[in-house]
Amino acid sequence: MSAMNTVKTTAVAGAALAMTLGSLVMAAPAHAATAPGALIAEQALGQYTSGNAEVQKRKYEGDAKDGDTERNNCNFYTGFWTAKANLQWDHTSAPRTGTIVNRQACGTSKGYMYIKVNGAWTKTWTSVKWTSRAWCADFAKYTWYWGKAKITGLNSAADSFRTYGRSNGTWHTKAQVAANTNTYKPKPGDVVSYDDNGDGRADHVGVVTSYNSARKVYNSVEGNTSLEQLTYKKTQAATAGRVLGYTSPEAHGRR
């Protein structure tokens, strides 16, 4: 079975195209407020599998051209968080040109944002200027935001998810997963934190989309991977050496 077919069978059945675009109009507000994990996993998978031309562009770094894989960190998700017109912009700045190839602008593509329309904050399908910086945390934070999770305290640093987990009591170490008692089982919507530098801090993150408790393996969608794109990863060992732990989202409410 191809990777793409595997992803599609993993995704929650019946997820609407609007879900893949960031439109999360759910029929059950109470469920959305208490269980953001499933919505987050749907968001992450939707960003990867969507057939919408504008969403497909997001899979690749470059200058907002479909399939363009210039390795310059230009990406949609950072553009979303640094757009000052966006109600949820993160109040930080980032260069509008690539960090590796600095001679061209990052370009634009379409996406949903809350912007002011006739004086009211309105969810609008609008142009988003791509921006350049390491973006694994920007992608994960994006899925949490549209998945109706609390994002207070999160920023573009991968380690902010570990800090968030400690602050909210939702941080679960690798040791808890490794324990014979299965003290903790990663869940869809959790963010897995990796330490590739060996300094005890997260320097990369991904969004867990499914977990096999018998085999202790998980699938995930991750931005800014070694392939310089959005990547779907299968059957990764939950207690692998580079794994630090898992952060579960706190519910925020409807958007």
Q: Which residues contact 12 (CB under 8 A, 6 or more apart)?
A: 38, 41, 42, 45
Mean pLDDT over each residue of the chain, to the nearest integer: 84
User: Sorting pLDDT into bands at 50, 70 and 90, what band is 103?
Assistant: low
Report yes or no on 27 lying in a domain: yes
How large is the average pLDDT for residues 68-76?
75
As for how many domains the chain has, the answer is 1
Could you report the per-residue pLDDT of 110-167, keeping only the tens digit for each? 999 999 999 999 999 999 999 888 999 999 999 999 999 999 999 999 999 999 999 9
Report yes or no on 112 lying in a domain: no
Report yes or no on 109 lying in a domain: no
CB atoms within 10 A of CB 180: 5
Q: What is the pLDDT of residue 198?
A: 93
Residue count (the chain): 255
**Distance separating alpha carbons of residues 52 and 58, to the nearest angstrom:** 10
User: Sorting pLDDT into bands at 50, 70 and 90, what band is 21?
Assistant: very low
**Distance separating alpha carbons of residues 151 and 161, to the nearest angstrom:** 9
* Helix locations, 111-251, DSSP H: 136-146, 159-168, 174-178
Report yes or no on 105 lying in a domain: no
Q: What is the pLDDT of residue 27?
A: 37
How large is the average pLDDT for residues 202-228?
94
Report yes or no on 111 lying in a domain: no
Percent of the chain clearing pLDDT 70 (strictly above): 78
Q: What is the Cα 99 distance to its own chain's centre?
A: 21
**Distance separating alpha carbons of residues 72 and 102, to the nearest angstrom:** 8
Report yes or no on 242 lying in a domain: yes
Report yes or no on 157 lying in a domain: yes
Report yes or no on 165 lying in a domain: yes
Token pair listed for 31 = 């469920």
What sign for the dihedral angle of Cα 81, 87, 90, 94?
A: positive
Vertex 189: Cα angle to 186 and 190 (nearest 5): 45
| Global confidence as pTM | 0.84
Structural domain span for residue 210: 1-60+135-255
Q: What is the pLDDT of residue 252?
A: 79
